[in-house]
Amino acid sequence: MSVWNYVVTAHKPTNVTHSCVGNFTGPQELNLIIAKCTRIEIHLLTPQGLQPMLDVPIYGRIATLELFRPHGEAQDFLFIATERYKFCVLQWDAENSEDQAMGDVSDRIGRPTDNGQIGIIDPDCRLIGLHLYDGLFKVIPFDNKGQLKEAFNIRLEELQVLDIKFLYGCSKPTIVVLYQDNKDARHVKTYEVALKDKDFVEGPWTQNNLDNGADLLIPVPPPLCGVLIIGEETIVYCSASAFKAIPIRPSITKAYGRVDADGSRYLLGDHAGLLHLLVITHEKEKVTGLKIELLGETSIASTISYLDNAFVYIGSSYGDSQLIKIHLQPDVKGSYVEVLERYVNLGPIVDFCVVDLERQGQGQVVTCSGAYKDGSLRIVRNGIGINEQASVELQGIKGMWSLRSSTDDPHDTFLVVSFISETRILAMNLEDELEETEIEGFCSQVQTLFCHDAVYDQLIQVTSSSVRLVSSTSRELRNEWKAPSGFSVNVATANATQVLLATGGGHLVYLEIGDGTLTEVKHAQLEYDISCLDINPIGENPNYSQLAAVGMWTDISVRIFSLPELNLITKEYLGGEIIPRSVLLCSFEGIPYLLCALGDGHLLNFLLNMSTGELTDRKKVSLGTQPITLRTFSSKNTTHVFAASDRPTVIYSSNKKLLYSNVNLKEVSHMCPFNSAAFPDSLAIAKEGDLTIGTIDDIQKLHIRSIPLGEHPRRICHQEQSRTFAICSLKYNQSSTEESETHFIRLLDDQTFEFISTYPLDTFEYGCSILSCSFSDDSNVYYCVGTAYVLPEENEPTKGRILVFIVEDGKLQLIAEKETKGAVYSLNAFNGKLLAAINQKIQLYKWMLRDDGTRELQSESGHHGHILALYVQTRGDFIVVGDLMKSISLLIYKHEEGAIEERARDYNANWMSAVEILDDDIYLGAENNFNLFTVRKNSEGATDEERGRLEVVGEYHVGEFVNRFRHGSLVMRLPDSDVGQIPTVIFGTVNGVIGVIASLPHDQYVFLEKLQANLRKIIKGVGGLSHEQWRSFNNEKKTVDAKNFLDGDLIETFLDLNRTRMDDISKAMGVSVEELCKRVEELTRLH
**Could you read off the pLDDT of 181-209 as tens digits, one per residue?**
888 889 999 999 998 899 999 888 888 87
- Angle (nearest 5°) at CA 786 between 765 and 814: 90
Q: Are 775 and 785 in contact (CB under 8 A)?
A: no
CA distance 232 to 253: 7
Outline where 688-763 has alpha helix (H): none
Q: In a 3-state reduction of DSSP, which class is residue 559?
A: strand
505 Cα distance to chain centroid: 52
Cα–Cα distance between 270 and 620 in angstroms, integer?
51
Confidence at 569, pLDDT banded by 50, 70, 90:
very high
CA dihedral 843, 844, 850, 856 (to 10 degrees): 60
pLDDT at 718: 96
So what's the pLDDT on residue 96?
A: 58
Asked whether the beta carbons of 1086 and 1079 are under 8 A apart, the reply is no
User: Is the dihedral angle over the CA atoms 979, 980, 982, 984 positive or is it negative?
Assistant: positive
Average pLDDT over the chain reads: 90
Say which range, 170-179, 386-395, 932-941, 975-984, has the weakest mean pLDDT.
Answer: 975-984
* Cα 984 to Cα 233: distance, rounded to the nearest angstrom: 50
Beta strands in 968-1074 (DSSP E): 984-989, 994-999, 1033-1034, 1039-1040, 1045-1047
Backbone φ and ψ of 1066, nearest 5°: -60, -40
* Contact yes or no for 447/418 (Cβ under 8 A): yes
Per-residue pLDDT averaged across 497-501, rounded? 95
Q: Rounded to 5 degrees, what angle do the CA atoms 821, 822, 825 make?
A: 135
Other residues' Cβ atoms within 10 Å of the Cβ of residue 708: 15
Q: CA 454, 456, 462 angle in degrees (round to 5)?
A: 30
Instruction: Report d(CA 343, CA 43) in Å as an integer.
Output: 13
Residue 887 CA, distance from chain mean position: 30
Q: Give the span between the Cα atoms of 617 and 620, in whole angstroms.
A: 10
The pLDDT of residue 975: 46
Helix (H, G, I), strand (E, B) or coil at 24: coil
Paired sense of beta strands 615-622 and 602-608, if any: antiparallel
| Helix/strand/coil (H/E/C) assignment for every residue in 636-697 | CCEEEEEEECCCCEEEEEECCEEEEEEECCCCCCEEEEECCCCCCCEEEEEECCEEEEEEEC
C-alpha dihedral (168, 170, 172, 174), degrees to nearest 10: -50
CA-based radius of gyration for the chain: 33
Q: Give the whole-angstrom CA distance, residue 1007 versus residue 869.
A: 39
The total number of residues shown for the chain amounts to 1087
Over residues 757-783, mean pLDDT: 94
pLDDT greater than 60 at residue 736: no
Beta bridge partners of 568: 561
Q: Would you state the pLDDT for residue 741?
A: 87
Q: Given strand 265-270, what is the order of strands in its sheet?
A: 253-258, 265-270, 274-283, 286-297
User: What does the pLDDT read at residue 1077?
Assistant: 87
- In terms of Cβ atoms closer than 10 Å to its own Cβ (0-12, 13-18, 19+), residue 309 is exposed
Q: Decide: helix, strand or coil at residue 347.
A: coil
Separation between Cα atoms, residue 1065 and residue 1007, nearest integer Å: 13
Under 8 Å between Cβ of 431 and 445: no
| Distance separating alpha carbons of residues 869 and 704, to the nearest angstrom | 33
Helix (H, G, I), strand (E, B) or coil at 1014: helix
Q: 372 and 271 in contact (C-beta within 8 Å)?
A: yes
Smallest CA-to-CA distance from 350 within 61, 729, 912, 726 is with: 729
Q: Look at residue 661 and tell me whether its pLDDT is greater than 90.
A: no
Whether the link from the prior residue into 223 is cis, omega within 30° of 0, is yes
Would you say residue 733 has pLDDT above 90?
A: no
pLDDT 10s digits, 804-848:
999 999 899 999 999 999 999 999 999 999 999 999 999 999 999
pLDDT at residue 111, rounded to an integer: 78
Indicate the burial class of 268 (C-beta count within 10 angstroms; 0-12, 13-18, 19 or more): buried
| 95 pLDDT more than 70 | no
Q: 433: pLDDT confidence band, cut at 50, 70 and 90?
A: confident
CA 528 to chain centre: 48
What was the pLDDT predicted at 868?
Answer: 92
Q: Which residues pair with 693 in a beta bridge?
A: 390, 684
Query: What percentage of the chain reaches a pLDDT higher than 70?
Result: 97
Compute CA distances 233 → 37, 71, 250, 294, 732, whole Å: 31, 40, 5, 15, 20
Is residue 49 pLDDT above 90, yes or no? no
Least confident of 381-395, 436-450, 813-827: 381-395
d(C-alpha 253, C-alpha 251), whole Å: 6
* pLDDT for position 570: 93
For 142-169, b/e burial (b = at least 16 CB within 10 A) is: beeebebeebebbebebeebbbbbbbbb
* Whole-number Å distance between alpha carbons of 1018 and 1000: 24
Q: Taking residues 307-322, what's their average pLDDT?
A: 94
CB-based burial label for 109 (10 Å; 0-12, 13-18, 19+): exposed
Angle at 291 between CA 285 and CA 296, to 5 degrees: 135
Give per-residue pLDDT as tens, 1018-1029.
998 888 889 999
Using alpha carbons, list the distances in angstroms from residue 42 to 21, 97, 810.
Answer: 10, 10, 48
Q: How far apart are CA 654 and CA 652, in angstroms?
A: 7
Could you read off the pLDDT of 1037-1079 as tens digits, one per residue? 899 999 999 999 999 999 888 888 999 999 999 999 888 988 8
Q: Please indicate whether residue 385 or residue 857 has the higher confidence score (pLDDT).
A: 857
The span from the first CA to the last CA of the chain, in angstroms, equals 21
| Of 277-291, 428-442, 965-979, the least confident | 965-979
pTM: 0.83
- Give the pLDDT score at 359: 62
- Please report the pLDDT score of residue 977 as a whole number: 52
Angle (CA) 4-8-11 rounded to 5° is 155
Say if residue 700 is exposed, middle or buried (CB neighbours under 10 Å; 0-12, 13-18, 19+): middle
Query: Contact at 8 Å (CB) between 723 and 750?
Result: yes
With H, G, I as helix, E, B as strand and everything else as coil, classify residue 284: coil
When pLDDT is averaged across residues 304-330 and rounded to a whole number, the result is 94
DSSP-derived letter for residue 576 is S
Residue 392's pLDDT is 85
**CA 803/CA 818 separation, integer angstroms:** 7
What pLDDT score does 734 carry? 67
Burial 750-784, CB ≥16 within 10 A → b, else e: beeeeebbebebeeebbbbbbbbbebeeeeeebbb
Longest dimension (CA), the chain: 104
pLDDT tens digits, residue range 450-470?
999 999 999 999 999 999 999
Percent of the chain, pLDDT > 90?
A: 66
State which amino acid sits at residue 315.
Answer: G
